[in-house]
Amino acid sequence: GDSVTQTEGQVALSEEDFLTIHCNYSASGYPALFWYVQYPGEGPQFLFRASRDKEKGSSRGFEATYNKETTSFHLQKASVQESDSAVYYCALGETSSFSKLVFGQGTSLSVVP
């Protein structure tokens, strides 16, 4: 079945550091790809999506580019802030009329001042 792999379980950075969280997927079709963010005590919330090869999704300074060749959708941010500390989930969904999302394991980001 479809799957999503996030390489990093935990990432620790200082403010203004560059962030990369790796996401690779395996899917039989041509999925939509998502990033969700979960702050402590809250449910995951949608960050952004991309639906086709080479499309860039972005929100709140975060961005990722759909790469069908390398089956990747890596999350990046140029300069992280302490308020970005959260758990980040990569997910994929089928681009049919209905889809259930398949999530990666999650990456816990901790940013210190």
Partner 1 sequence: GGIITQTPKFLIGQEGQKLTLKCQQNFNHDTMYWYRQDSGKGLRLIYYSITENDLQKGDLSEGYDASREKKSSFSLTVTSAQKNEMAVFLCASSMVRQGAGNTLYFGEGSRLIVV
Q: Which is nearer to partner 1, 79 or 99 (CB)?
A: 99
Q: Which is nearer to partner 1, 98 or 113 (CB)?
A: 98
- Interacting residues of 75 by C-beta distance below 8 A, sequence separation 6+: 19, 20, 21, 23, 35, 62, 63, 64, 88, 90
Positions in the binding site for partner 1 (CB under 8 A): 1, 4, 6, 9, 31-32, 34, 36, 41-46, 49, 51, 89, 93-106
Kindly state the smallest distance separating residue 63's Cβ from partner 1, in Å.
Answer: 18
Kindly state the smallest distance separating residue 27's Cβ from partner 1, in Å.
Answer: 11
**Short-list 6, 15, 2, CA closest to 110:** 15
Kindly state the smallest distance separating residue 79's Cβ from partner 1, in Å.
Answer: 27
Distance (Å, whole) CA 66 – CA 51: 8
